[in-house]
Amino acid sequence: MSQKILLNQKEVTIILHRLACQLIENHLDFKNTILIGIQPRGIQLASRLKQILETEYQIKNIALGFLDITFFRDDFRRGEKSLEANKTKIDFLVEDKKVIFIDDVLYTGRSINAALSAIQSFGRPSEVELLVLIDRRFSRHLPIQPDYRGRQVDAINNEKVVVKWQETSGEDSVELITI
């Protein structure tokens, strides 16, 4: 097993600020826009982006929610290991809002497909966009592409992209691990 650092802490910080600026360009004051972190790994990225938008760019009252997609996945009950659900926290209306799904890595597209199904339980958004830190280009099973991407990575099937966050791992970094 080998590992290669794709992004160090400084590069992650630069990318987060670039993504925040791109969101501001398209959503200005976020009055009709909500951020939805996809459980479990999208919540750190979504929380960090909200923090940057509020502290660095003085945008207030950004709606942030967390969406669990466990029971909407197409592989639910297909494997031997049982899936463990996370908590959904959406305490605002989704109806007619612009929703930005946020996840750390876009791989096959199946998680985003599940998120599209799950969000319907909370209303019908006027628009849905996707923001990811890492886009694994050549691994898609569904025709899903991000609107905002931090970095594209050409990883093959025996390689895994691991995103580490200061809050949970003690550092911000992205690694490519070959199994």
pLDDT tens digits, residue range 31-89?
999 999 999 999 999 999 999 999 999 999 999 999 999 888 766 555 566 666 788 99
Say what the pLDDT of residue 83 is. Answer: 62
What whole-number distance in Å separates Cα of residue 86 and Cα of residue 71?
A: 10
Residue 81 has a pLDDT of 63
Single-letter amino acid, residue 122: F
Report the alpha-carbon distance of residue 159 to residue 76 in Å, rounded.
23
Question: What is the chain's Cα-based Rg?
Answer: 16
* CA–CA separation, 98 and 129 (whole Å): 8
With cut-offs at 50, 70 and 90, classify the pLDDT of residue 124.
Answer: very high
pTM, whole model, 2 decimals?
Answer: 0.93
Structure tokens at 91: 């305490």
Residue 82 has what pLDDT?
61
Task: Count, in order, helices (H) and strands (E) of the chain.
Answer: 4, 8
Select the CATH number that applies to the domain covering 10-72+85-153 from these four: 3.40.605.10, 3.40.50.2020, 3.30.70.1560, 3.30.2320.50.
3.40.50.2020
Nearest to 64 by CA among 56, 76, 54, 74: 54
Instruction: Provide the residue ranges of all domains of the chain, joining segments of one domain with +.
Output: 10-72+85-153
Q: Cα-Cα-Cα-Cα dihedral of 172, 169, 178, 1, to 10°?
A: 130
Alpha-carbon distance of 28 to 26, in angstroms, equals 6
What pLDDT, on the 0 to 100 scale, is given for residue 1? Answer: 82
Percent of residues, the chain, with pLDDT higher than 90: 82
